């Protein structure tokens, strides 16, 4: 895309992998809300599309070529691609928080091109081998699953946890599945749209409620994961936490947020924001392979690369959960 | 029991619950290896049977009466009983580690009587209400399940973890189930007896191997949980850990243990002993109610109170996993 | 006090310690901002003074008598008193978070009487023996020091940490001292009142700045501890944190608080409220005895029990840091 | 060195820094026990000196040249050098545990050359700028200080901690200093040699005892840090821990170690091995700059590069704590 609302298919030369890099033939790309936001508005916060940008950061593929210094035996392997390349040398990277690396190169936030293409180049260690039991679409969706794994870890979900998840979009549903995979036994998903709640029950929720019903649930949750970005949902979620509860803010929202100060103090609540994820791909693949988390069921539409605009426009339609684009068609 | 190998049924008056206490009519008591050990040898370590002792600490029942200061509305409720009463005032208790309370009163280690009786008295907060979906036998087995939850927490098992469990007795099987409930995707159970391995696959293990095969597995585990108490199994388990791996020693064994010192250092392994559990009952009940952990399948024999000796003698027979005694028969 | 602004000295019988309790002859009581708030406004949040209330919860004394079941050998010992009695049986207590016990009985929040008296009764385990090197006044101030220890633990301060502390009142100064005791090497204290900053340098701060200067400091802090309760100070403190920084909200303020949502997410900040403290007394005493934290220097005024109203009114005067009341005068 | 016991001074060309690298003119190199061990025995465990090897990994210097892609403005800066270069791409590196990187290139374990030379080449991010208040010798000793910081973090030392440290060599003394910097108030150092204990009191210990006296101290320590590698000292240290205590094994010893199994279980002790350190340099520098940890006092001898053999042979002499070699002489 070069302008908001305008998407074009361009012929570009197939890129060549440099030292330590791989060329990956893309099999499946998930359409994320952030792709749609760039497409519609041309920016997210400080990230502005000033020159043509390739969207897409949820990617699976097959290794097509190996750059210098990379094991050529990997060519041909099916892989899931982690979309961010961190420097590996700054304090955040060396402390294991590479998602906070100030020099991160991440697919699609401008000016770095994304993966909505026939081929992408990635660093060797960011292409993870896939077992046969994980499909191409499922592998593309390891990215949102990573978002869920990261949030669930920050929320310290464990056996017997009671968790409230606000927002029944793809990220909310992924979080519900991951919560169950960590042993949570009470997983309540809320949304303002009744039609979205139906999917929650098929994706890990033990119950699904309208956002307006959350206040009536009392203080019974160990953790709250916001996937809505909606300030009223966040305020209600915080009030629904038990003492010592944890709130994890995943969904993006307005610049400022009002929280119930006294409640946070008297119950010693902890509030954490999340930004992407770190070190989640191996676990995400293992969960997908074991069937503990099933994501390809979320896919409600598949599109060819030439139909990418249609894919982007599809995501707000009722009944659509997740659209994927398969460039090999 | 009063002497090793001698068990007698005694008539005693029904005890009266004191302030803050409940009288519980016992429904099911699991037979633990430690009960058998006291029965056969009259001691475990420093705990010696010097006067007649009631065995049994895995207990469920129904509340029969409430002492002063306890909500009488609880009478009639089905409950699982946590078998240890801690002081609540020492530094360990106040830090949340009540299992390490020096004044702990625990069922059956002498001189405190256990629960192999028609009635027991327990502190109000140690009798946990049960949902209908948890059977009496399953509720008695919340105690070994707590052992598993405690070990899995110490082992920091999470989504995608690879764990090796040594020992396919009841505690090993419980640990395998709990590991899965926390999201572990590779759960290998080892034992020296082939006939015990068959049960592992039905109780959470993704594979079951002979102890002699562990050395051939390489260093691929994030965690090792020993439920065997056997020094060779522990040494092999430590060597099978990846760098930064965690070992949790649950099974009791000899007074001293030899560990591979250099391996522990070069891989920065962590070794933790466990002693009972703390704060595990609510999660254990929630997991049982959700079906994430199913324990009543472990029960291979049910006995009347009068047949307790037979129950104790049963546990070493081939094919026996877990025996329970039901005093209401 | 019975009404806002009215304080009276009453003769009451010396209380008798019950089972497990001690009678303590009070030596020193620190005047806390919350005492002043009850005195002036008759309430803090949901805690309302509806009947005569004894203020005071920062207490040291000497054991005068022992109740049944308590070691009589303790009589005569100098002790610091932890002012809250928790139930020891609820889930929060058993998890080591007794400060969140719903049945907490705490000195001075109504309707529980405080310690501004010649004698108080406390549970045995809440009276901690003092070494000679800790004075009576210093021992009374173990309470605010506990607030600081709790905040510093939540802030995960360690060797080399850079911490910003908003508010240079007694709690802010205590936090600065505790930060240094944990190894923090950059301890910046801010306040809106220049005359308060002078004390910061004598109490652990490596620098002291006006609140208006915080925005100019950039994002260089690992942790932020708010002891001001002032929303603008909290917003500025959050913005001054590095990625992965921790904010701890100690100071009480308005019911609602506005935080920079995007900043919290993009930097993965963690915000935690604190409510009193748990398990801090032994460490507080050890630090006082070692001289690592010196609090009696904070005492700027000493008053007799009859002059308590004067003590309460003193705390807002310029130059006053901490007033203590010594009932034995 | 090329053979055990043989050390030679060689002329080699000044190395050129590659992309992302710096050339550092060495100012001070600390002599470590491992250097002495290679010199005397030609091997440590699996690391064998098969070809000429430059020893030395405790290094400070001044940046002499910058390779391609490195800020040339750094030339002339005084720096401390972290001696290990990790890959930045493996699972251990990305999880923040780069000390466990299987592809680590570390000064002096063969076949990688160390820093006992006039110049060394290091990766840009491994040379840390020094404030003026940290001397060259002190900066070289940031390496052993890092060992201490790593151990103290694993031991979870905090305000009021009671810690036992076995071994009063340089590493033991560094650990004592770091323990105090983290707020430990009881720091007992033990050794078998009385003459070494004298230095402990000047370096953080609150008391120093003969190893034979440890058994008499009872179970009063929160943590035990072994810097001796001696099995009897480790066994005694484990037995001196309170329930829930942590043991950290720093000193290298025999291949196998016998531990008191029942004690580890009944007290739920945690035992962790350490291997070097990760992310410790910034804190180590901050502590040195603040004076919280003073290491240059440990230096009992300074040698020219030509006298390196003498420096290596010096370390076992009575009265010697730490020898440094200054190649610029």
- What mean pLDDT is predicted for residues C219-241? 98
Nearest CA in chain B to A152: B159
Element of type H or E holding A256: strand A256-260
Chain mean pLDDT for chain B: 94
End-to-end CA distance of chain B: 20
Distance CA D198, CA B166 (A): 47
pLDDT of residue D15: 94
Task: Judge: A93–D97 Cβ closer than 8 Å, yes or no.
Answer: no
Angle at which helices B170-181 and B194-202 cross, to 10°: 30
Place of tokens 């009374």: C140
Q: If you ran DSSP here, which 8-state letter would residue B3 be given?
A: B
Contacts of B97 in chain D (CB under 8 A): 243-244, 268
A266 at C interface, C-beta within 8 A: yes
Chain mean pLDDT for chain A: 94
Distance CA C210, CA C216 (A): 11
Residue A291 binned pLDDT confidence (cut-offs 50, 70, 90): confident
Substitution target in D227, D244, D253 with the highest count of B β-carbons within 10 Å is D244
What digits encode the pLDDT tens for the residues D262-286? Answer: 999 999 999 999 999 999 999 999 9
- Rounded to 5 degrees, φ, ψ at D175 are -65, -35
Chain mean pLDDT for chain D: 94
What digits encode the pLDDT tens for the residues B218-271? Answer: 999 999 999 999 999 999 999 999 999 999 999 999 999 999 999 999 999 999
Q: Where are the domains of chain C?
A: 21-129+294-325, 146-273
C90 at A interface, C-beta within 8 A: no
B252 closest CB neighbour out of D265, D270, D271: D265
- What mean pLDDT is predicted for residues D26-53? 89
C287 at D interface, C-beta within 8 A: yes
- Rounded to 5 degrees, φ, ψ at C315 are -70, -15
C252 at A interface, C-beta within 8 A: yes
pLDDT of residue B46: 80
What digits encode the pLDDT tens for the residues C138-176? Answer: 999 999 999 999 999 999 999 999 999 999 999 999 999
Contacts of B220 in chain D (CB under 8 A): none
Looking at the complex, report in whole angstroms how far the Cα of residue C179 sits from the nearest Cα belonging to chain D: 10
With a cut of 80, say whether residue A124 has pLDDT above it. yes
pLDDT of residue B245: 98
Distance CA C126, CA C113 (A): 16
Substitution target in D82, D88, D97, D122 with the highest count of A β-carbons within 10 Å is D88
**Higher per-residue confidence, D201 vs D210:** D210
- Rounded to 5 degrees, φ, ψ at B130 are -110, 140
Q: Which two tokens stand for residue A285?
A: 């693949």
pLDDT of residue D329: 78
Distance CA D315, CA D300 (A): 10
Distance CA B291, CA D193 (A): 60
D90 at A interface, C-beta within 8 A: yes
C96 at A interface, C-beta within 8 A: no
Task: Judge: A257–C256 Cβ closer than 8 Å, yes or no.
Answer: no
Touching partners of C (3+ C-beta pairs < 8 Å): A, B, D
Distance CA C88, CA D269 (A): 24
Distance CA C310, CA C307 (A): 5
Distance CA D322, CA D199 (A): 12
DSSP state string for B218-248: -S-EEEEEE-S--HHHHHHHHHTEEEEEEEE
Looking at the predicted complex, does its ipTM rise above 0.85?
Answer: yes
Contacts of D205 (CB under 8 A, 6+ apart): D165, D176, D187, D188, D189
With a cut of 80, say whether residue C294 has pLDDT above it. no
Nearest CA in chain C to D146: C159
Helices (H), chain B: 33-41, 91-94, 136-140, 142-154, 170-181, 194-202, 231-239, 261-266, 281-290, 308-314
What's the predicted TM-score (pTM) here?
A: 0.97
The structural architecture, per CATH, of the domain D146-273 is: 3-Layer(aba) Sandwich (3.40)
Distance CA C158, CA D149 (A): 10
What digits encode the pLDDT tens for the residues D133-156? Answer: 999 999 999 999 999 999 999 999
Q: What angle do CA B123, C97, D266 make, to 5 degrees?
A: 65
With a cut of 80, say whether residue A71 has pLDDT above it. yes
Three-class SS of residue D104?
A: coil
With a cut of 80, say whether residue B296 has pLDDT above it. no
Distance CA C278, CA B95 (A): 8
- β-strand pairing of A21-30 with A119-123: antiparallel
Q: Which fold has domain D21-129+294-325?
A: Quinone Oxidoreductase; Chain A, domain 1 (3.90.180)
A279 at C interface, C-beta within 8 A: no
D287 closest CB neighbour out of C149, C185, C286: C185
Distance CA A169, CA A180 (A): 17
Task: Judge: B185–A152 Cβ closer than 8 Å, yes or no.
Answer: no
pLDDT of residue B47: 85
Task: Judge: C279–B95 Cβ closer than 8 Å, yes or no.
Answer: yes
Contacts of A124 in chain D (CB under 8 A): 89
Residue A136 binned pLDDT confidence (cut-offs 50, 70, 90): very high
B51 at D interface, C-beta within 8 A: no
Name the nearest CA neighbour of B44 among B89, B17, B8, B4: B4
What digits encode the pLDDT tens for the residues B149-203? Answer: 999 999 999 999 999 999 999 999 999 999 999 999 999 999 999 989 999 999 9
For chain A, positions 131-170, list CB contacts with chain B under 8 A: 149, 152-153, 158-161
Distance CA A40, CA C164 (A): 40
Task: Judge: C284–D182 Cβ closer than 8 Å, yes or no.
Answer: no
Q: Which two tokens stand for residue A56?
A: 């897409």
B71 at C interface, C-beta within 8 A: no
Question: Long-range contacts: A300-308, Cβ < 8 Å, 24+?
Answer: A302/A137, A302/A326, A304/A329, A305/A9, A305/A116, A305/A117, A305/A118, A305/A329, A306/A9, A308/A7, A308/A9, A308/A55, A308/A116
With a cut of 80, say whether residue C71 has pLDDT above it. yes
The pLDDT > 90 percentage for chain D reads: 79
Nearest-10 Cα torsion for A157, A158, A162, A164: 20
Chain mean pLDDT for chain C: 94
Task: Judge: B249–D267 Cβ closer than 8 Å, yes or no.
Answer: no
B319 at C interface, C-beta within 8 A: no
């Amino acid at each position: 895309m070069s302008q908001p609302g305008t998407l074009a298919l361009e012929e570009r030369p197939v890129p060549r992998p440099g030292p330590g890099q791989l060329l990956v033939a893309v099999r499946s790309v998930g359409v994320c809300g952030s792709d749609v936001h760039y497409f519609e508005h041309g920016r997210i916060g400080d990230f502005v599309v000033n020159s043509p940008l390739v969207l897409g950061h949820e990617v699976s593929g097959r290794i097509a070529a190996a750059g210098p210094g990379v094991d050529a035996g990997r060519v041909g392997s099916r892989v899931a691609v982690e979309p961010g390349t961190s420097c590996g040398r700054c304090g955040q990277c060396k402390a294991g928080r590479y998602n906070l690396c100030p020099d991160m190169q991440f697919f699609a936030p401008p000016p770095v091109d994304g993966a909505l293409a026939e081929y992408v180049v990635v660093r060797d260690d960011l292409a993870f081998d896939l077992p046969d039991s994980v499909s191409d679409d499922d592998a593309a969706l390891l990215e949102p699953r990573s978002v869920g794994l990261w949030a669930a870890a920050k929320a310290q979900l464990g056996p017997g946890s009671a968790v409230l998840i606000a927002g029944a979009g793809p990220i909310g549903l992924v979080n519900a599945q991951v919560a169950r995979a960590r042993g949570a036994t009470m997983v309540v998903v809320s949304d303002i749209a009744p039609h979205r709640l139906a999917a929650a029950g098929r994706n890990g929720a033990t119950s699904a409620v309208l956002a307006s019903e959350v206040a009536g649930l009392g203080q019974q949750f160990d953790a709250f994961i916001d996937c809505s970005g909606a300030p009223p949902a966040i305020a209600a979620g915080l009030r629904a936490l038990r003492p010592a509860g944890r709130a994890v803010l995943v969904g993006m929202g307005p610049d400022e947020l009002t929280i119930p100060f006294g409640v946070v103090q008297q119950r010693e609540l902890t509030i954490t924001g999340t930004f992407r994820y770190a070190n989640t791909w191996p676990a995400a693949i293992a969960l997908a392979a074991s069937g503990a988390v099933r994501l390809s069921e979320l896919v409600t539409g598949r599109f060819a690369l030439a139909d990418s605009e249609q894919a982007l426009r599809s995501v707000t339609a009722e009944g659509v959960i997740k659209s994927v684009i398969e460039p090999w068609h």
